[in-house]
Copies of this chain bind each other. A is one copy, B any other.
């Protein structure tokens, strides 16, 4: 068993939280901006301070390695991401990187040897806010996304990702994936309210929800908002409103964990006194059960058909992206659960509603996650908050789980 230095961990958290800090106590540190560079530079300096060699790969992921006693053993990989959402919070991503850093510092300070090497990582552009591909660095790492495709992506200003990497000096020379790893373990905030509601300090993450993104388009007919009686209309927005109301009521009828979200909606011709002939909206469907996602998508289509029949309109429904349920490796879940039990930390099993780098990593190695609570479930905004005691409890569970995976010598 190891115990992290809670004060040092806190100091690091405050130091990193000053880089890209917003006035409202959040972080605005978009991938590959000057703020991200400063955070990366601090991270590299911190890694060198504990004697580690740092390597940067071709997509800008930052790695460092602490040797094990068995040079031939595949390393355990730990870490998360330092980039944030626009005006995001201080806990999302950063906390996981700093828990991994604190793990390595603790092992160094206490001269603890492991059989396997332990490698730490900061993944590039996890948020997908600046360059529109979430978990981009890990996607390239696992081969989900081609390196050249990723480097050629542009932000809203037309800046190429490759050029942005070069500008901040993180266009690394190391190949994106040079060797195998034994396992990947990531600490992250839950981004939902359950752990906090249940009084648990740590979540042992079973996996990640399946997700399907749908786009609905309603076709009606324009008419004058005055002389056209209600019964004579083919109103695309009226159709959309009926369908969206029903779509938001679907999850409670399907399962306890399913969620549906309509985040975008627009009308055409977008005029106050014209019955609209076109409405578009998106639907994000998630569940821990792929069958529930499939059923929900079918019900979405059925609700659209019913609303269109009522309003004498028509619809199209397209799946624009989907990913099936991820189940994390049993040995990782066990390592996390055992560490929590041994440390007597209140914990419970959870399924992540959000995607994480660990989701991609699980395709090529056993992967797992430790969650800490998000008070009120608030995330992706400046009010994001986790009680510091929970951060410390989570980091201790994380450090000990990583230690057990690496083989305490």
Contacts and interface: CB of A to CB of B under 8 A. Distances in A.
Contact of A237 (B192, B227, B244, B354): B244
Interface stretch (A44-52, A265-273, A400-408): A265-273
Interface in A200-229: 209, 211, 213, 221-229
Contacts of A271: 263-264
Given A237-B263, A244-B241, A262-B241, A286 B192 contact: no
A282 interface: yes
B193 A232 contact: yes
Given A263-B276, A273-B284, A379 B223 contact: yes
Given A265-B237, A354-B224, A377-B228, A272 B251 contact: no
B353 A224 contact: yes
Contact of A275 (B209, B235, B261): B261
Nearest to A269: B263
Interface string A7-51: 000000000000000000000000000000000000000000000
Of A194, A221, A244, A279, the most chain B CB neighbours within 10 A belong to: A244
Interface residues of A, number: 64
A353 B261 contact: no
A355 interface: yes
A245 interface: yes
A251 B228 CA distance: 12
B272 A225 contact: no
A190 B223 CA distance: 12
A218 to B, nearest CB: 12
A266 B279 CA distance: 10
B251 A230 contact: yes
A65 interface: no
Nearest to A321: B272
A209 B282 CA distance: 36
B379 A229 contact: no
B193 A377 contact: no
A194 to B, nearest CB: 8
A223 B377 contact: yes
A227 B379 CA distance: 9
B193 A229 contact: yes
A272 B213 contact: yes
Interface string A63-98: 000000000000000000000000000000000000
A141 to B, nearest CB: 22
Interface string A243-259: 01100100110000101
A226 B323 CA distance: 13
B259 A225 contact: yes
20 contacts: A191-B227, A192-B232, A193-B232, A221-B378, A223-B379, A224-B353, A227-B353, A228-B377, A235-B261, A237-B262, A240-B241, A241-B262, A261-B274, A263-B267, A263-B271, A263-B275, A264-B270, A265-B279, A266-B266, A272-B284
